[in-house]
Amino acid sequence: MADTVFDRHPKKTLFAVLIVFGLITALLLEIGLRFIVSYDIGYYAAVKKAGVYQYPYGTISMNSLGYPDEEFNLSSTKIKRIGYYGDSVVYGVGAGDGYRFPDLLQEQYPRYEHWITGMISNGIQDVSAADMAEQFGLDTVVYAMNMNDLVPIVAEGGAAVTSEKAQRSTLNDVQNWVRRTLDGLRGKSYLYTATRTAVKNFLMRMGYSPSGFVSAELFPSDHMDIIDDVTQRINEFDRKLKSMGTTLCVIILPYEMQISNDAAQTYKSLGIHWEDGFLDGSTQALIKERLNTRYVYDGLDAFKGLKDTAKVGEYFVYNKGDKIDFNHPNRAGHALLAEGFMQSKSCPALR
């Protein structure tokens, strides 16, 4: 009897069979998940056309300087220039151009320039963030502080600078690697997106934020060192801005479970946990009492009186895309934040 390929190369043949079997399985899963997945896998993924990023919720323009805004008129003679700093909320995830709170403030105060000049993914890391304010001649910086900005100082590549906090950045390192190497498949491959979602949601249930760091904001009493560290950095940033003649106004953005009992019950049923007092704004209170700037607005106030009536997903993005999302206001949420911020008179530039 003649030798078969398997007889001559058993290991290589077995490996090839496993590869083919794996590819067939992946293809079947890719097809099958199209009928199972209930969310929009492309909700957070953009299609870029002529300098505009198109999302299911709207469009985001990107100017020639790389900021999510219209072109800055650097020769403008308007009496004030207001720059907005923040993360994906300021970018407009869940809202899109024209519906973000900076856009709505621009409509109300057209005599000023309103520019989104600071896109920061890990909060205010050091005073170098003030360089943009100086570059654009800003009179006022409005920093929309997402509570997941409560992270340690992050070095290039995602590692925490201090060894005592290095364990909190391990997932951040992995996340950065995944983003660099695999995230091009997000929103395109059902298999990759569904796998990514399952892992991400599991980690969130284990107490980690989308940034890959521990969710210090949900359990602030266990992470006072991080809160002290972050607020000190903001205070140093504020001192630097003051030395330049620039005013800092801070908006602390709430999470959806804080503004709605229905949302709190929903996220609890999904396995998200928090400490007693968080729903009533304990994290915001700790941040506010440590900030030196006089101009702080608690975004939770914009949703007062809605706890018993607001439904999950009414003011925030919920169950739209490929993650448990309780920190992105939708268009209605941005509108309430803009209105509350204006009415509070907590920022001198908007009085």
pLDDT grade, residue 36 (50/70/90)? confident
Q: Give pLDDT, residue 160.
A: 46
In a domain, 54, yes or no: no
Render pLDDT for 23-33 as a digit per residue (tens, 0 to 9): 888 888 888 88
Spatial separation of the C-alpha atoms in residues 297 and 131, rounded to whole Å: 24
What are the two backbone dihedrals, phi and then psi, of residue 176, each rounded to the nearest 5 degrees? Answer: -60, -40
Residues of the domain holding 2? 1-36
In a domain, 66, yes or no: no
For residues 88 and 55, the answer to whether their CB atoms sit within 8 Å is: no
Render pLDDT for 279-298 as a digit per residue (tens, 0 to 9): 999 999 999 999 999 999 99
Spatial separation of the C-alpha atoms in residues 272 and 266, rounded to whole Å: 9
In a domain, 3, yes or no: yes
Residue 81 pairs with which residues in a beta bridge?
113
In a domain, 48, yes or no: no
- pLDDT beyond 80 at 206: yes
Task: Output the domain CATH number for residue 169.
Answer: 3.40.50.1110
- pLDDT beyond 70 at 162: no
**Other CB atoms within 10 Å distance of the CB of residue 326:** 23
Q: What percent of the chain has pLDDT over 90?
A: 63
Mean pLDDT, residues 83-112 taken together: 97
In a domain, 282, yes or no: yes
Residue 242 burial (C-beta neighbours within 10 Å; 0-12, 13-18, 19+)? middle
In a domain, 310, yes or no: yes
- How many domains does the chain fold into? 2
In a domain, 53, yes or no: no
Q: Give pLDDT, residue 161.
A: 45
Per-chain mean pLDDT for the chain:
89
> Is the same domain home to 24 and 164?
no
> Is the same domain home to 168 and 23?
no
Name the residue with higher pLDDT: 316 or 6.
Answer: 316
> Is the same domain home to 155 and 8?
no
- pLDDT beyond 70 at 329: yes
Spatial separation of the C-alpha atoms in residues 48 and 62, rounded to whole Å: 10
Q: Give pLDDT, residue 8.
A: 63
Q: Give pLDDT, residue 6.
A: 56
Residue type, position 44, single letter: Y
Q: Give pLDDT, residue 128.
A: 86
Mean pLDDT, residues 186-214 taken together: 83
> Is the same domain home to 194 and 273?
yes
Render pLDDT for 113-153 as a digit per residue (tens, 0 to 9): 999 998 887 888 888 889 999 999 999 999 999 999 998 88
> Is the same domain home to 19 and 100?
no
Name the residue with higher pLDDT: 242 or 4.
Answer: 242
Name the residue with higher pLDDT: 58 or 182.
Answer: 58
Render pLDDT for 42-77 as a digit per residue (tens, 0 to 9): 899 888 888 799 999 999 999 999 999 999 999 999
- pLDDT beyond 80 at 2: no
> Is the same domain home to 133 and 3?
no
> Is the same domain home to 2 and 86?
no
For residues 237 and 127, the answer to whether their CB atoms sit within 8 Å is: yes
DSSP 104-122: HHHHH-TTSEEEEEEE-SS
- What pTM, to 2 d.p., does this model score? 0.87
- pLDDT beyond 80 at 178: no
Q: Give pLDDT, residue 119.
A: 85
Q: Which of 36-50, 146-160, 331-345 has the highest mean pLDDT?
A: 331-345
Lowest-confidence segment of 152-161, 178-187, 251-260 by average pLDDT? 152-161
In a domain, 255, yes or no: yes
Q: What percent of the chain has pLDDT over 70?
A: 92
> Is the same domain home to 125 and 233?
yes
> Is the same domain home to 154 and 301?
yes
Task: Determine the 3-state secondary structure of 222 from DSSP.
Answer: helix
> Is the same domain home to 268 and 341?
yes
> Is the same domain home to 28 and 92?
no
> Is the same domain home to 18 and 129?
no
Q: Give pLDDT, residue 10.
A: 73
